[in-house]
């Protein structure tokens, strides 16, 4: 399958930037797979499409302040470090895969300093794609040091830091570990979750820590040759029990976001969902046979990305690309702080 099949034209003014919409005020394109129909609604009308017994699966990961600004010890040269994936943690030190700027000047053996020395790092080695492996040294708890020195890693098209950093967290976020938000969940408010519960819609929380690879475009010409990144997930016994209850009742399971979808498709066996944790590199593109979900709530994604491929696999490539063209025509907002798309 040629990656060019997942291209579309997007005017730059439709890329969601500041000012950001209030939670719950987004528009929502609704895609009926069976009837091949497209409807234009608002997210506040989500209740209309859900029924008692439906099970919404939400990713409760929390974004860490993954950007660090420091300098090279000795030269004073400015360095920007972006945390990507934790490799190992010990007392007073931890090792991470990172991205760095300027890459050419940060070499193995360099010592880096952040803040007033509360956090230091040694560059261990270079990795494929221009990354680095760093070991950080600190007193106390790394997450607390990071909270003081780190910056929330907003998408590059958001040019200013948010006045309220919680706006880039879902209202149900709990477990820190992501370098980007599971953006389909940003539409929800506590009031909307309460209204859905009152209607009889169930919610199940799972965790997948979102990595940068999620948003990178596929660079191979053939989709099948793309190597998918790994992301850590965790599913509690209680969550698996609720999912299996939905299976037993033949209730619809609706993934909120592609991250939740990937976890569900990873943990679904022949007859049931299994609890546990690990890393998943599942790559879903047209031709994939879904075994876990009956619906998907998502945002609008980058051309040539693994995300638009997953959505096309679930909704049907021809129908999804038609919906994207219509979304552009109707001036929907795209990407992280954009509008929603419900596929049933």
List pLDDT tens digits, range 126-151. Answer: 998 789 999 999 999 999 999 999 99
CATH architecture of the domain covering 3-63+164-343: 3-Layer(aba) Sandwich (3.40)
pLDDT at 279: 95
pLDDT at 159: 80
CB 233 within 8 Å of CB 259? no
State the DSSP H helix or E strand holding residue 171, giving kind and residue range, or none if neither. none
Q: Which residues of the chain have pLDDT under 70?
A: 18, 215
Task: Characterize 319-332 residue by residue with b for buried, 16 or more Cβ atoms within 10 angstroms of its Cβ, and e for exposed.
Answer: bbbebbeebbeeeb
pLDDT at 99: 93
pLDDT at 62: 97
pLDDT per position as a tens digit, 267-280: 999 999 999 999 99
pLDDT at 258: 97
What are the residues whose beta carbons fall under 8 Å from the beta carbon of 201, sequence distance 6 or more?
47, 50, 51, 52, 53, 54, 55, 56
Task: Characterize 90-118 residue by residue with b for buried, 16 or more Cβ atoms within 10 angstroms of its Cβ, and e for exposed.
Answer: eeeebbbbbbbeeeeebeeebebbbeeee
DSSP-assigned letters across all residues of 191-237: HHHHHHHHHT-EEEEEEE---GGGGSBP-SSBGGGPPPPPEEEEE-H
CB 60 within 8 Å of CB 209? no
pLDDT at 139: 96
- Classify domain 67-149 at the CATH superfamily level: QueA-like (2.40.10.240)
> According to CATH, where is 2.40.10.240 located in the chain?
67-149
pLDDT per position as a tens digit, 11-32: 999 998 767 778 989 999 999 9
CB 162 within 8 Å of CB 194? no
> According to CATH, where is 3.40.1780.10 located in the chain?
3-63+164-343
* Angle value at C-alpha 299, between 12 and 202, nearest 5 degrees: 165
């Amino acid at each position: 399958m040629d990656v060019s099949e997942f291209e579309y034209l997007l005017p730059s003014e439709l890329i969601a930037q500041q000012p950001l919409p209030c939670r719950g005020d987004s528009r929502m394109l609704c895609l009926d797979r069976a009837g091949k129909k497209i409807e234009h609604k608002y997210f506040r009308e989500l209740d209309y499409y859900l029924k008692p017994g439906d099970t919404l699966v939400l990713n409760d990961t929390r974004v860490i302040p993954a950007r660090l600004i420091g300098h090279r010890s000795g030269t004073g040269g400015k360095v920007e470090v972006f945390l990507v994936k934790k490799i190992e943690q010990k007392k007073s030190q931890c090792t991470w895969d990172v991205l760095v700027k300027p890459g050419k000047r940060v070499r193995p053996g360099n010592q880096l300093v952040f803040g007033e020395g509360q956090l230091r790092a040694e560059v261990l080695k270079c990795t494929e794609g221009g990354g680095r492996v760093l070991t950080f040294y600190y007193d106390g708890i790394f997450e607390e040091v990071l909270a003081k020195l780190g910056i929330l890693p907003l998408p590059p098209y958001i040019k200013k830091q948010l006045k309220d950093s919680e706006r880039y967290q879902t209202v149900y976020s709990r477990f820190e570990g992501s370098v980007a938000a599971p953006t389909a969940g940003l539409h929800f408010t506590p009031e909307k979750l309460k209204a859905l519960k009152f209607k009889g819609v169930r919610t199940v929380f799972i965790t997948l820590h979102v990595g940068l690879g999620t948003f990178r475009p596929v660079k191979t010409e053939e989709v099948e040759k793309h190597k998918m990144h790994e992301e850590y997930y965790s599913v509690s016994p209680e969550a698996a029990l609720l999912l299996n209850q939905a299976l037993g009742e033949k209730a619809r399971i609706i993934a909120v976001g592609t991250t939740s979808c990937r976890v569900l498709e990873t943990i679904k066996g022949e007859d049931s969902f299994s609890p546990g944790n690990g890393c998943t590199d599942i790559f879903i593109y047209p031709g994939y046979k879904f075994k876990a979900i009956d619906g998907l709530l998502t945002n609008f994604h980058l051309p040539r990305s693994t995300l638009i491929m997953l959505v096309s696999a679930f909704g049907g490539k021809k129908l999804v690309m038609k919906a994207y063209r219509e979304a552009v025509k109707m001036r929907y907002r795209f990407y992280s702080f954009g509008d929603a798309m419900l596929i049933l």
